[in-house]
Chain A
Amino acid sequence: MSSGGAFGGNRGLRPVPPEKGVFPLDHMHLCDLDKKEYLNCLKTAGNKSEICRGFSKKYLQCRMEKNLMAKQDLAELGFKESNAESPAGKTTERIGDQEQ
């Protein structure tokens, strides 16, 4: 990540790398189908991310299955099964631990 410091960015502010690091490139196009479904959804949904969340989730799940993304419960990244089901109990507990 040494190249991150080489770019001054605008007004001398240094860019900060993404939280979870880099997405490996999908050279074999393993998740192209899920990507296309998401992009097609955006086109029909006025580009509203909210409407196409199911497809975003599927794409990220594909990446995880093909080892193109570290495996993680997508509920933690904002993709819940339904509004009723909430992982708040589990994650709140974890935050409580970290605050100690």
Chain B
Amino acid sequence: MMRMCLTGLAFGMGVLTIFASPPLYRTFCQATSYDGTVTRRERVEEKIARHDSNQTVTSREIVVQFNADISDGMPWKFLPTQREVRVKPGESALAFYTVENQSSTPITGVSTYNVTPMKVLTTEEYSILYNRIYFNKIQCFCFEEQRLLPGEKIDMPVFFYIDPEIEDDPKMNGINNIILSYTFFKDKVSEE
């Protein structure tokens, strides 16, 4: 049983460093089906319900700050709407970005995101944080084309959740600041 679970972990995540982290291992194995199929990632509702029934208490305040970039030649004004959001792990939180098409033609953009802590991490630490084990994007505006008419200005929400398990992981000690970065690229595929 345990062997299958470990196999599921390595296959599903491709990050061997997970084995070194007992709380993560426990969490992940609970979500694994025992017939050896590929691991299913625990959904955020499941995490929330589990921590709720465990009455998990978190104390670390994490300051989430925001970065907004556009690619060259992208005539959009793109900014975070708020400077920062202070959140405790286990609290789902909302943030916004404001986007404005400053050109005279409709433009379609696609965005991608990045999460970095304000601390130099080893590659291993970075991959743990970056692999959204702790930082879960529940819903946002990224990864699909977004079309703005000339002069249109819209606020785009990001709804996210930081896993309480971050407080148990010694590798995440001292991570109190996270920067969420989005970059908008002009979508070359869709022509107006």
Query: What residues make up the interface of A, taking CB atoms closer than 8 Å to B?
Result: 1, 3-4, 7, 9-11, 13, 15-23, 25-27, 29, 32, 35, 38-39, 42-43, 46-50, 53, 56, 59-60, 63, 69, 76-79, 86-88, 91-92, 94-95, 98-99
Contacts and interface: CB of A to CB of B under 8 A. Distances in A.
A76 B87 CA distance: 18
A22 B154 contact: no
Contact of B48 (A15, A42, A78): A78
Nearest to A26: B154
B4 interface: no
Contacts of A18: 137-140, 142-143
Interface of B: 30, 43-46, 48-50, 52-53, 81-88, 90-94, 96, 110, 112-114, 116, 123, 126-127, 130-132, 136-146, 152, 154-157, 159, 161, 185, 187
B83 to A, nearest CB: 7
A76 B45 contact: yes
Contacts of A21: 139
Nearest to B81: A39
Contacts of A27: 152, 154
Contact of A78 (B92, B132, B142, B146): B92
Given A9-B130, A23-B159, 20 more contacts: A3-B187, A9-B112, A10-B130, A11-B130, A15-B113, A16-B132, A17-B137, A20-B138, A22-B142, A23-B139, A23-B140, A25-B141, A27-B152, A38-B94, A39-B96, A59-B94, A60-B94, A77-B44, A78-B48, A87-B49
Contacts, number: 144
A92 B46 CA distance: 8
B4 to A, nearest CB: 15
Nearest to A8: B112
A92 B49 contact: yes
A17 to B, nearest CB: 5
A35 B85 contact: no
A49 B93 contact: yes
A76 B154 contact: no
Among B92, B136, B141, find the residue whose CB has the most chain A CB atoms closer than 10 A: B92
